[in-house]
Structure 1
């Protein structure tokens, strides 16, 4: 802009270009400043525009020199703000001036935010660092043995989980341990005679599992159906060693087995990481007798080399974080007891139907620890949530302020073929009375199928008013079809 506004005068004798002072040149430079978009969160140092304060009537040479210097420094700051950390470090080697510019904390605060999602200068242990540049260097040094792209990915995975927990379930957040050390990881590997995949090592470097003080505070959560209740915790490194040694002995695994326990519930549910294949597995009903397991994540996602390395544990935790963030799963509170509930809450895995003011939501989960792969027997637990909308139920144009369940009907299909058609009274021995605007009545039950390509639908028969004092004709509230299928990820 300055060049375009500059008049060039050519001497007739020497033909040498002579630059003359543009009128109000500083205004053009200020306009340029206003047109350039800076990265979000970047604050340009005031020194970059210090020479714009020069008086407009200074000598031509001094004013032009000031404008050139100011414009040059401003442009350099714009360029530096768009560089990645490696290039910022390289440009510091040009000369002292560039080293000074590249050391300014405004750039390193951007790098810390973009790479590590930290808004204050802290080291990997959470201790304050003297500057963002120092903090970034401490992080790089602490994880120098790992691909930096993988470090950022694992850090992001934990950050998402912790952010959700802080807002929705701080009791679980409080159970997470700080990271373990390289020395302890090496010691665990030597004891178990395995080599942990790099993603798993990083996961434990940042958080060494969680406290097992309360069985309902599992990071992964779970479900309950009748007397069977599970809630999965992530094991500490010490627990990984102890439980793996015990399970290896109990199940008769060979001494060269590459399986290590990673997560478990107090009752009958154990997750194993195969350190060779990098796949995550969960034990079935035949685990104790035959060592039978199910893979928990899509095999195509597992990568053992390069910057995009990913093992089963990392993929599993990332998907868990996505489900929590999206609201697919959430915290359920029953009788003042809270836990992360694995029953899906959103479509297509959770379906909703409203009939005459009665809303019914339904979803199911596979129960791998009670399933039998050898005999193609798969147990599904399903959760039904029913409620009466605030306006009450309406039957034949008449509105009632209550209704009570009397009968149920279930239709179970396998590949669109009806396999079961069941009619029975009540649900789990109860006849719930629904009132407008009250909390959902929730119950869990289960069904065993020979296939993982099934679905379930049905209806509940309600009586307006109460069973002992009916106010109108019975009506059927529909239960929309919901899947009974092998999930892509198993929790």
Structure 2
């Protein structure tokens, strides 16, 4: 039985399975197949699967007369790009926007409308570079972030961390700022424009964290304090930007944003609220990158982030710097000691065991944490503090304990007790943010 002999429902199912390109070919066979291949319900499926749109919209977000027309406008607008790559980049941005809408609408509001082909051509001419196709497409959908207000310093899409006075919050630059930042940074560092490097992301806070895209090989780099280049994505994943099969291209910029989106969607990293200011915190929140231990009702969570901008890999031994975040709280049932419940407890002492490549390199004992003696109360928010440490190797770990007293230091309700801090890793990551 041929397609023309199939019932309408069967024909609809078959066409929905073969996809939009083959459906367009089938439409040329006969009048009946042309009618079936033009059904709005069919093209609504293609628009949803390929473009994640449930209403007929053109690439500018304006209404289109039909789903079939909308799909045609999208294909025409991106005809110079491999369609599978267009779908992949679109999905990357859709996932990020969906997460931002639910968790951080303030940051979503900073995303700019996509750049035009004329904008991209002018950009490439100005900096004398040729953008890898995946990065070019990323800017077609979203032209970075608008950061005109002072409040935008915490709204970076990539987020960051803080350790003492060292503040980091990374946002994506729009093309107009990529030009300015690239020229200024390359001049400041004394680099030649022939290196094909452009600055695509920087920290809005007072730090020197900068991300460079190499337009020649598609890799993304960030620098250390001694001007060493660290790849932000595993080299093995970055396929040649000159790959003939464009569908398979995946430069570091796209891989970087996809991985960041995955971490946000899985809850590996989350929003942090500090002094009523929201930001994306890069400290991992779930095992195995975050350790969790509960002792006598006191919960301690701990994780780390690599800090490339203050690392020094030229010295012997090198200094790999990590920030670590410790979050402690008292469970709702309170502190339970010797069968007695206490609604509060207060930290008095800390003890750390620090290892590099499995060998103990330091032990730390002392009162307080960052000069504070946090008082934990049942069911209240976590007490959070950050500190940092450097290691001579790429792999290390920290574990230890806190000494608490039930009640408070001024009014103890019993004997001191130890709270475990489970071992958490400090490791040079595959992806650097």
Task: Tell me the TM-score normalised to structure 1 length.
Answer: 0.84
| 1:63-462 alignment, distance < 5 Å | 72-212=7-147, 213=149, 214-266=152-204, 267-287=207-227, 292-304=228-240, 305=243, 306=245, 307-375=247-315, 376-462=318-404
For residues 193 and 325 of structure 2, the distance between their equivalents in structure 1, rounded to whole angstroms, comes to 41
Tell me the CA shift for residue 417 of structure 1.
0.9
The CA RMSD measured in Å over matched residues stands at: 1.3
* Higher relative contact order, chain-length normalized (CA < 8 Å, sep 6+): 2
Query: What is residue 65 of structure 1 aligned with on the other side?
Result: none
SS in 1 for 2:389: strand
For residues 180 and 6 of structure 2, the distance between their equivalents in structure 1, rounded to whole angstroms, comes to 64
SS in 2 for 1:111: helix
Q: Deviations over 1:25-75 (max 9, x none)?
A: xxxxxxxxxxxxxxxxxxxxxxxxxxxxxxxxxxxxxxxxxxxx9963333
For residues 71 and 115 of structure 1, the distance between their equivalents in structure 2, rounded to whole angstroms, comes to 26
Q: Which structure has the bigger radius of gyration?
A: 1
SS in 2 for 1:484: strand
Aligned 8 A contact 1:461 1:474 in 2: yes
Query: What is residue 485 of structure 1 aligned with on the other side?
Result: 427
1:468 aligned to which of 385, 407, 410: 410
Q: Deviations over 1:140-164 (max 9, x none)?
A: 0010000000000000000000000
Tell me the CA shift for residue 452 of structure 1.
1.5
Tell me the CA shift for residue 284 of structure 1.
1.2
Q: Deviations over 1:278-300 (max 9, x none)?
A: 1100121123xxxx221100111
CA spacing shift, 1:473–1:86, aligned 2, 3 Å: same
Q: Deviations over 1:372-395 (max 9, x none)?
A: 121211111000000001111112
For residues 309 and 416 of structure 1, the distance between their equivalents in structure 2, rounded to whole angstroms, comes to 39
Tell me the CA shift for residue 348 of structure 1.
0.5
Unmatched segments (≥5 aa) in structure 2: none
For residues 84 and 357 of structure 2, the distance between their equivalents in structure 1, rounded to whole angstroms, comes to 43
For residues 177 and 71 of structure 1, the distance between their equivalents in structure 2, rounded to whole angstroms, comes to 48
Tell me the CA shift for residue 370 of structure 1.
0.7
For residues 119 and 5 of structure 2, the distance between their equivalents in structure 1, rounded to whole angstroms, comes to 53
For residues 456 and 490 of structure 1, the distance between their equivalents in structure 2, rounded to whole angstroms, comes to 20
For residues 197 and 300 of structure 1, the distance between their equivalents in structure 2, rounded to whole angstroms, comes to 17
SS in 2 for 1:346: coil
Query: What is residue 52 of structure 1 aligned with on the other side?
Result: none
Q: Deviations over 1:237-293 (max 9, x none)?
A: 011111111111111111311110000013311000001111100121123xxxx22
Aligned 8 A contact 1:386 1:442 in 2: yes
For residues 275 and 198 of structure 1, the distance between their equivalents in structure 2, rounded to whole angstroms, comes to 10
| 1:16-95 alignment, distance < 5 Å | 72-95=7-30
For residues 323 and 226 of structure 1, the distance between their equivalents in structure 2, rounded to whole angstroms, comes to 25
Query: What is residue 22 of structure 1 aligned with on the other side?
Result: none
Aligned 8 A contact 2:100 2:108 in 1: yes
For residues 78 and 470 of structure 1, the distance between their equivalents in structure 2, rounded to whole angstroms, comes to 72
Unmatched segments (≥5 aa) in structure 1: 4-68
For residues 78 and 230 of structure 1, the distance between their equivalents in structure 2, rounded to whole angstroms, comes to 52
Aligned 8 A contact 1:354 1:477 in 2: yes
Tell me the CA shift for residue 341 of structure 1.
0.4
Aligned 8 A contact 1:395 1:473 in 2: no
Aligned 8 A contact 1:232 1:265 in 2: yes
Query: What is residue 11 of structure 1 aligned with on the other side?
Result: none
For residues 430 and 423 of structure 1, the distance between their equivalents in structure 2, rounded to whole angstroms, comes to 15
Aligned 8 A contact 2:16 2:46 in 1: no
